[in-house]
Amino acid sequence: MILTLTGKLAGKTVRRLGFGTMRLTGPGIWGPPSDQRLAIDVLRKAVESGIQHIDTADAYGPDIAEPLIRAALSPYPDDLIIGTKGGFTRQGPGRWTPCGAPAYLRQCVEMSLRRLNVEALDLYYLHRIDPAIPLADQLGELERMREEGKIKALGMSKVDIAQLEEAISIAPIAAVQNPFNLHEPRSAEVVAWCEREDVAFVPYAPLGAGKCLEPSQPLSGRAVTPQAALKWLLEYSPIMFPIPGTSSIEHLMENLESDGYVKP
C-alpha cells in the first residue's frame, strides 16, 4: 500500500499525522506540566517539523493545554488546524464528568476562543454526549455557534454509529474522534462509516497507552515500534488522522518517522 501523507480535515488539506496535547499537562491530566518551557518547545518543534494538526481540549488541565498552544504557536501558521473540545467538567486528577447544558457549551466555546486567541475555532468537538440532555440540544447549540462564525467545523468524540446518524441529522460533522489502535481496533465499523460519509477519523490513544508496543500484536506476533503502530493506522484508511502525544522531543521525532517525512 502506498502511504498517503496528506488528507482533508475540517476543510483543509494537511499532513495526516498530527499531535495530541493531553500529555503536556500534569499527572491525571490535571494541573500544569512539570516543565512548561519543555512543553512549549515540544509544540514548537512539532510545527517546525511539519505537523499541521494540533489536538487539544479545555478539559486538559483543565484550561492548561490551550494556553500552552497559544504561548508556543500564536500567531498561528495559515496551514495549521487546531481542534479543541468542550463538554466535560473536571473534579480532580483522572476525574471527568460530561456536561452538555447548552449554556455551558456556549461558555466552553467562548473561553476556548479566548484562551487560543482566535476569532473562530478550526474544529470543535462535543467531547462527550451528556446522557441527561438530548443530543439535539447539545449539538444544536454548537451548530448555532458555527452559524454565528465562532466555529468553522464540528466534530464528535467517543460515539457509535447510531449517535453519528442522529448527529448528522442535526449538523454537518467534519470529524469523529474515537479510541482506535493496533491493540484495540474496536471502532472499525465507525471508521467504515466515516469513509462512506467522507468524515475524518481522528483516533485517540493511537498507541493504546503503550499496549500496542507489547508482544503478540497482529503485525508480527512480537513487540512493535511506535513508528510501526502509527504507520499501521495511516495505512488502515486514508481518512485516518492519528494524534500521538508526548512531552518529549525525542519521542516526538520518533513518532514523526512513521509517515516517512520529517521537515528539515
Active site residues: 60
Q: In terms of C-beta distances under 8 Å and separation of at least 24 residues, what long-range contacts does 216-220 make, across chains too?
A: 217/182, 217/183, 218/182, 219/182
d(CA 92, CA 14): 35
Please provide the distance, in angstroms rounded to a whole number, between the alpha carbons at the two ends of the chain. 26
66 in Cβ contact with 112 (< 8 Å): yes
Length of the chain: 264
Q: What are phi and psi of 6, to 5 degrees?
A: -120, 160
Contact 47, 74 (CB under 8 A): no
Distance CA 179, CA 204 (A): 5
Q: Are strands 88-92 and 95-98 parallel, antiparallel or unpaired?
A: antiparallel
Q: Mapping DSSP to helix (H, G, I), strand (E, B) and coil, where does residue 148 land?
A: coil
Integer Cα distance of 105 and 92 in angstroms? 20
| Cβ atoms within 10 Å, residue 44 | 14
Distance CA 41, CA 88 (A): 28
